[in-house]
C-alpha cells in the first residue's frame, strides 16, 4: 500500500507544469511551497527537475550546491526512487544558481535533507503519475491497473509494457496531476533510498575532471591576486602600482575600495597577470602601506585577559534562568566550579577561496563555489550597483567549505575586479596563507561553570557564565549561545549568563556552528559533575533525561528535544563500545552525547596515553538518530567519519588561530596542521531508526567526539582538559 499525501502541508499549494522535451520526451517543472525562498515566502519553481528522453534516459537536476556532503546524489536518489527507475538510468546535472527558479539553494545547517525530503519525493511521484496516466490512456485501461518498475510501465492483465521514454512525449501533453492526489511509495518498497550509492560526481573527481571552482578556465582569462591589510579592518594608505605593472606578465593593477562590510569588500590592490604565479610574485613590488586601525591592539593574550576579568565580575546579561539558582547554590551541600576556553579556528578547506568573473555589456557572469549563491548575488549587486537579474551564477563543485563558503567575500572581490576590466574574464585565487589569515573564523569562547549538589550528591543547581566575542553589542557570527544545552529544562535551578568582548576579527559558522565549541565545554564539565556525583556521564545523562518525552521548545531554539531519542542513541553506543569493559592499561574510554541540527548523537572514544604523554585514539564508536530513513548509507558513513576526524583533528592537532598585533600568526598547514590518514582511528557507526522525518548529517556527528576524547584522557590520566587544543607537553600518565 502507498502512502497518500495529505491535503494539508507540503502538497497543499504545489504547482506542476509539463512540457515537451526538445527532440521528444517529458520535461517537468515544479513549484513547491516547501521550497519557498527566505525573501518572498512564495513557492520556488524547481525548473526542469526531471527530463525523460525518448530512449528512457532520465536526467535529474541537482538544485543545491555540492560541497562534498553528497547532496547532489542523495536528493536525486529520492526523486529516482519515487519515479521508480533504476539508478543506472539516471544522469545528474548541476543547476545554475537561480532561487527564483529552483527555490532555496544553499549548503549549510544540515538542512538539505529535512527541507527537501518530501518535495523530492513529490516530484518523483508526480512524474510517475503522469507516465501511468499516459500509458493507461494509450491502452484504454484504468490508471490503477498500471504499475511501474525499473523505468517501465506494466499492465499485468494484458501482459503489455512500455518504457518510460516510449510514452514520455504523450505524458508531456497531459495536465499535471493535483499534488493532493499523489500516492507516495511505502518506504518498504524503496529500492534506491537506503542503498549505499557512490557519489554521482565521484568518477569525475577520480579522473581529475575540471568540475571544481578552482578548475574554471575561460578564453583570454587573467589571473588575479588581491593584496590587503594583514590587520583586520586595516585600510590602504599607498601602493606602487607602476612597479607591479612592470613585472613580467602583469596586465593590470587596480584598486578595490572597501565598504565597511568584511563579507563584501575590504581595501585592497588587485594584480592581474597571464598566470597566477606571476601575479602572486608581483605582490612584493607593490610595497603597500596600511593604516592598521584599532585592530592592531587586539591579540590572543588581550582577549584571554579580558575574558578572565569578565568571568570574575558580574555577567552583563542573562540568557536563561529557571528556579532559584542563586539560593540553590548558596544552600548546596557541595559545589564545584571550573573554567573552560577554546580558541579561534580556521575552516582551512583544501580548495582555497576562488571565483571567476566576466563583466561585459553591463552584465556579470560568475563561476562561484559558494554555499549561499543567492546571498552572494545580493552582495555583488549591492557592491557593484547592479540589478540582481543582471548577474548569472554558475555553481561549480566546492572543494570543502565547512561553513567558510557561507560567506561570499571572495565572490564580491572577483566581481569588483572584473568590473574594472570589462570583457576580460578574471579568476581570483587566494593563496593558502591568505585562506588561513583572512578567514571568517570560528570564534574563541570562555566559560565558567558552577554546579551545586544536595546531601545525597544529586545535582540541584547549574550555572554557566559564557564570555563570547561581540560586535555592536551582539555576539559575532558563530559565537551565539544555544539554549538547548543540557542540562536545560532537566534541572530545577539553572542560569545561563553571558558577557561580551568587542572584536574586529571576522567570524562565521563552522561545521556544527556554536555546537562544535559548546558541546566540548558543557559535556566536559558535566563529566566533572558526574564524577562528583559518584557516577559516570552516561549514568548522569540518563538520570537527567528521565522517561521518554518531548520537552517544551526551549527559548531561542527552533527544534524541540525528545528525551527518548537521546536515550536510544546513548544506550546503543554503550552497547557498541562495551562501555563497562575497561581497555588495556594506559587506555580509557570517554563518553559524550549531543543534540544539534535535529540529530541525536552519542559517542565513545578510546584514548591511549603513552608514558611520554602522546595521545593516540585507536577506536571511536558512534550512534546516531536522524529519523526514519538514511537516504544514502554510503554518504552517511562518510559524513559521520569525516565529522569524527574533524573533531579529533581540532582537539589533538594543535589547531588554534592566534593573533598578535591584530595579525594572524598561522600561515599554512605546517603551523595549522590538518589530520592525516596515518593514525586515524577505527570508527564504528550505527544508526537508530525512529519514526521521525529524516534529518541531515553534515553537522551533528562532530560535537560529541571532542568531549568524549577529553573525558577519556581524564579517566586515563586524571588530568582534566579545560583548554583547547590539547597541550600534551609534559602530559604524562601515572606509571
| Residue written as grid cell 560535537 | 703
Q: 3-state SS string over 405-454?
A: HHCCHHHHHHHHHHHCCCCCCEEEECCHHHHHHCCCEECCEEEEEEEEEC
Cis upstream peptide for 725 (omega within 30°) = yes
- DSSP structure string for 531-573: HHTTS-HHHHHHHHH-SS-BPPPPTT-SS--BHHHHHHHHHHH
Full set of structural domains in the chain with CATH: 3-206 (3.30.365.10), 213-293+353-429 (3.30.365.10), 302-344+441-717 (3.30.365.10)
Q: Which residue has the cell 568582548?
A: 501
Segments in the chain below pLDDT 50: 1-14, 31-47, 733
- Rg of the chain, C-alpha, whole Å: 28
CA–CA separation, 399 vs 346, rounded Å? 15
Tell me how far CA of residue 7 lies from CA of 181, 248, 638, in angstroms: 8, 67, 37
- Beta strand spans in 35-190 (E): 44-45, 50-52, 58-62, 90-94, 146-149, 152-155, 160-163, 183-184
What is the predicted pLDDT for the residue at 386?
98
Question: How far is it, in rounded angstroms, from Cα 612 to Cα 605?
Answer: 20
Are 147 and 139 a contacting pair, CB within 8 Å?
A: no
Pairing of strands 58-62, 50-52: antiparallel
> Per residue in 336-366, is it b (16+ CB within 10 Å) or e — as a string?
bebbbbbbbbbbbbebbbbbbbbbeeeebbb
Beta carbons within 10 angstroms of residue 561's beta carbon: 21
- Whole-prediction pTM value? 0.93
Q: pLDDT digits over 110-124, tens only?
A: 999 999 999 899 889
Helix (H, G, I), strand (E, B) or coil at 135: helix
Cα–Cα distance for residue pair 663/290, rounded to 1 Å: 13
Please give the helix or strand (H or E) that residue 464 lies within, else none.
strand 459-471
Q: What residues pair up with 335 in beta bridges, in sequence order?
A: 452
Amino acid at each position: 500500500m502507498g502512502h497518500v499525501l495529505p491535503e494539508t502541508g507540503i502538497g497543499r499549494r504545489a504547482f506542476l507544469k509539463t512540457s515537451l522535451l526538445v527532440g521528444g520526451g517529458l520535461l517537468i517543472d515544479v513549484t513547491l511551497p516547501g521550497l519557498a525562498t527566505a525573501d518572498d515566502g512564495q513557492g520556488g519553481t524547481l525548473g526542469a527537475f526531471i527530463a525523460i528522453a525518448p530512449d528512457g534516459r532520465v536526467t535529474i537536476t541537482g538544485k543545491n550546491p555540492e560541497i562534498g556532503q553528497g547532496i547532489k546524489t542523495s536528493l536525486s536518489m529520492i526523486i529516482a526512487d519515487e519515479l521508480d527507475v533504476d539508478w543506472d538510468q539516471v544522469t545528474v546535472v548541476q543547476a545554475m544558481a537561480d532561487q527564483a527558479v529552483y527555490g532555496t539553494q544553499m549548503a549549510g545547517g544540515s538542512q538539505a535533507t529535512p527541507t527537501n525530503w518530501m518535495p523530492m519525493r513529490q516530484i518523483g511521484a508526480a512524474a510517475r503519475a503522469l507516465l501511468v496516466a499516459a500509458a493507461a490512456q494509450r491502452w484504454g485501461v484504468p490508471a490503477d491497473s498500471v504499475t511501474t518498475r525499473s523505468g517501465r510501465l506494466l499492465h499485468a492483465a494484458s501482459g503489455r509494457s512500455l518504457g518510460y521514454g516510449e510514452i514520455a512525449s504523450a505524458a508531456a501533453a497531459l495536465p499535471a496531476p493535483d499534488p493532493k492526489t499523489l500516492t507516495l511509495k511505502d518506504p518498504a518498497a524503496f529500492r534506491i533510498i537506503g542503498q549505499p550509492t557512490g557519489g554521482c560526481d565521484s568518477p569525475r573527481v577520480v579522473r581529475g575532471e575540471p568540475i571544481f571552482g578552482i578548475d574554471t578556465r575561460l578564453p583570454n582569462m587573467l589571473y588575479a591576486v588581491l593584496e590587503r591589510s594583514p590587520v583586520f579592518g586595516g585600510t590602504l594608505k599607498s601602493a606602487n602600482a607602476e612597479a607591479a605593472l612592470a613585472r613580467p606578465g602583469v596586465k593590470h593593477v587596480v584598486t578595490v575600495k572597501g565598504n565597511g562590510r568584511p563579507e563584501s569588500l575590504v581595501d585592497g590592490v588587485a594584480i592581474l597577470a597571464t598566470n597566477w604565479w606571476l601575479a602572486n610574485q608581483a605582490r612584493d613590488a607593490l610595497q603597500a602601506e596600511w593604516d592598521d586601525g584599532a585592530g592592531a591592539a587586539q591579540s590572543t593574550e588581550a582577549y584571554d585577559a579580558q575574558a578572565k576579568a569578565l568571568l570574575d565580575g558580574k555577567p552583563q546579561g542573562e540568557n536563561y534562568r529557571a528556579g532559584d539558582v542563586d539560593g540553590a547554590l548558596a544552600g548546596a551541600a557541595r559545589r564545584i566550579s571550573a573554567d573552560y576556553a577554546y580558541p579561534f579556528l580556521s575552516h582551512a578547506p583544501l580548495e582555497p577561496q576562488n571565483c571567476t568573473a566576466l563583466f561585459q555589456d553591463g552584465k556579470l557572469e560568475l563561476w562561484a563555489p559558494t554555499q549561499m549563491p543567492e546571498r552572494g548575488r545580493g552582495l555583488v549587486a549591492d557592491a557593484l550597483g547592479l540589478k540582481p537579474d543582471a548577474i548569472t551564477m554558475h555553481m561549480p563543485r566546492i572543494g570543502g567549505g565547512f561553513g567558510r563558503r557561507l560567506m561570499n567575500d571572495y565572490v564580491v572581490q572577483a566581481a569588483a575586479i572584473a568590473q574594472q576590466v570589462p570583457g576580460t574574464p578574471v579568476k581570483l585565487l587566494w593563496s593558502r596563507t591568505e585562506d588561513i589569515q583572512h578567514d571568517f573564523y570560528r570564534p574563541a569562547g570562555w566559560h565558567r561553570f558552577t554546579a551545586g549538589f544536595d546531601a545525597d550528591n544529586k545535582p540541584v543547581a547549574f550555572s554557566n557564565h559564557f564570555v563570547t566575542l561581540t560586535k555592536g553589542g551582539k555576539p559575532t557570527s558563530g559565537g551565539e549561545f544555544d539554549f538547548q544545552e543540557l542540562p536545560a529544562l532537566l534541572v530545577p535551578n539553572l542560569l545561563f549568563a553571558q558577557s561580551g568582548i568587542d572584536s574586529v576579527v571576522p567570524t562565521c559558522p563552522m561545521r556544527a556552528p556554536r555546537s562544535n565549541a559548546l558541546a566540548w565545554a558543557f559535556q566536559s564539565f558535566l563529566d566533572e559533575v558526574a564524577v562528583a556525583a559518584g557516577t559516570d556521564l552516561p549514568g548522569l545523562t540518563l538520570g537527567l533525561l528521565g522517561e521518554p518525552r518531548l520537552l517544551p521548545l526551549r527559548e531561542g531554539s527552533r527544534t524541540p528535544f525528545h528525551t527518548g531519542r537521546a536515550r536510544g542513541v546513548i544506550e546503543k553506543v554503550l552497547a557498541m563500545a562495551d562501555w563497562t569493559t575497561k581497555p588495556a592499561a594506559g587506555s580509557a574510554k570517554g563518553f559524550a552525547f549531543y543534540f544539534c541540527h535535529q540529530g541525536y548523537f552519542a559517542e565513545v572514544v578510546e584514548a591511549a596515553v603513552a608514558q611520554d604523554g602522546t595521545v593516540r585514539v585507536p577506536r571511536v564508536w558512534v550512534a546516531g538518530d536522524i529519523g526514519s530513513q538514511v537516504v544514502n548509507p554510503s554518504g552517511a558513513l562518510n559524513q559521520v567519519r569525516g565529522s569524527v576526524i574533524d573533531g579529533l583533528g581540532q582537539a589533538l592537532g594543535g589547531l588554534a588561530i592566534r593573533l598578535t598585533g591584530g595579525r594572524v600568526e598561522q600561515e599554512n598547514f605546517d603551523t595549522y596542521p590538518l589530520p592525516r590518514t596515518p593514525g586515524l582511528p577505527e570508527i564504528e557507526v550505527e544508526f537508530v531508526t525512529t519514526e521521525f522525518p529524516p534529518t541531515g548529517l553534515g553537522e551533528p556527528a562532530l560535537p560529541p567526539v571532542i568531549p568524549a576524547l577529553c573525558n577519556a584522557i581524564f579517566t586515563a590520566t586524571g588530568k582534566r582538559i579545560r583548554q583547547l587544543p590539547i597541550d600534551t607537553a609534559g602530559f604524562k600518565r601515572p606509571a
